[in-house]
Amino acid sequence: MTYSEALEYLHSYGRLSPTVDLHRIKTLLKGLGDPQNRLKFLHIAGTNGKGSTAAFCASALREAGYRTGLFISPYVVRFTERMQINGEYIPEELFAAVTEKVKEVAEANPDNYVEFELLTAAAMEWFFRNGCDIVVLETGIGGRLDATNAVMTSVVSVITSVSLDHTELLGDTLAKIAYEKAQIIKSGGFAVVYPEQAEEVFAVIRETAERKRAEVVVPDIMRLRRREHFFTYKNNDYIITLRGAHQTLNAVTAIEALDELACRGFYKLTREKIALGLMKATLPARFETVSADPLVVLDGAHNPSGMECLAELLGSELAGRRITVVAAMMKDKNAAESLKHLAGAVAKAVTVKVENPRCMEAEELRSLFEELGVPAVSAPDVGAAVEAACGDPDTDAVVVCGSLYLVSEARKIFKADK
């Protein structure tokens, strides 16, 4: 099997299954010899901030000398970004090899598999083959029935910011969504929770932890002092390159998780290694500058809470600039509510539809911007949208956001593949 054949095979399966449970992923893993049972995990669920928190944790573990696996969803640069060891994407030929092994198991145990289950199984096989000391494991959607929740050897669980998203799958209230996320907490385990949550989210997580006799820690933001790109937490100084107040909160969430790992056998996670790891952590499309002239920033914000954080960041980082946003959004996101947060921060919009059946029509998104008083035009493709925004003489900065699919395509215009 070649790399392209492996991708074609995975993409031939559906995105969502008609039946929702963990029996299919457990069947795949059992056929592989249950590699996940011989690995240790730092498991992360949440609505926003999973990728950033995972990046902080993986970077610190790597700096401490641990062979660190990282499984993320979705990707920005290329598909193999989803499976990494010590910051290196899985080589294409090895991706093909583990996918072929998973295919053999799937064909021997036919079922209504979905792509994410097959990918998760392939990742477990690769991490095991390569002797990872620990895997930083990001959920796909939810937590309770997410394929990653087949792992039973999580050392620490992390719940990042919880907000309304994927409501058709996870429920239409914060309490229902929090319940789904909190189910990654293991019996007798340890969980760290992002500090700024709705009280109903905290209530559900605490109830789940009590029932499972697990300990919950919430970062103490009374001991946090923020200053530009620096912050002090519990009398220790840190620097991060990821921008925004929310990233500082993601970082202190990661610090608490890493501190607990240090108490549970990962003793090389010293204060110095954690600080160095946080400083070196990078993540594409998190307020990432890809061009200075014209100034072009990519951000993965794609739901109301993400757009709110982005709007605050635009107000602080790009204050006084005339911003044109290039946007696409998926139909299953609350686009109207998302754009309300963004409308006051931008001067113009260029809308586009990316090549994804879930994507909104560009004209529909353009109308939403104009209803909010933002002049907008639509473009036939991503290249044309970026060109229109960058070529506008009245624009001081271009921000591309609304969908990671869009950001991924736009990034290829400015940066070569890794």
Convert the pLDDT of each residue in 225-240 to its tens digit. Answer: 988 779 999 999 999 9
Residues paired with residue 324 on neighbouring β-strands, in sequence order: 348, 398
Count Cβ atoms within 10 A of the Cβ of residue 21 and give its class: 0-12 exposed, 13-18 middle, 19 or more buried: exposed
Instruction: Give the model's pLDDT for residue 382.
Output: 95
The topology (CATH level 3) of 3-280 is UDP-N-acetylmuramoyl-L-alanine:D-glutamate ligase (3.40.1190)
Instruction: Give the model's pLDDT for residue 167.
Output: 63
Cα separation, 139 vs 119, whole angstroms: 12
Distances (CA, A) of 406 to 164, 199, 331: 21, 34, 14
Task: Give Dmax (Cα) for the chain.
Answer: 61
Residue ranges in the chain whose pLDDT is less than 70? 16-19, 165-169, 416-418
Domain 288-414 falls under CATH 3.40.50.620: no
* Contact present, 17 and 115 (Cβ < 8 Å): no
Instruction: Give the model's pLDDT for residue 418.
Output: 47
Instruction: Give the model's pLDDT for residue 18.
Output: 54
Cα separation, 2 vs 164, whole angstroms: 39
Ordered by start, the domain boundaries in the chain are: 3-280, 288-414
- Residues 102-154: tens digit of each pLDDT: 999 999 999 999 999 999 999 999 999 999 999 999 999 888 999 999 999 99
Please report, rounded to a whole number, the percentage of residues in the chain having pLDDT higher than 90. Answer: 82
Q: What is the mean pLDDT of the chain?
A: 93
Residues paired with residue 323 on neighbouring β-strands, in sequence order: 397
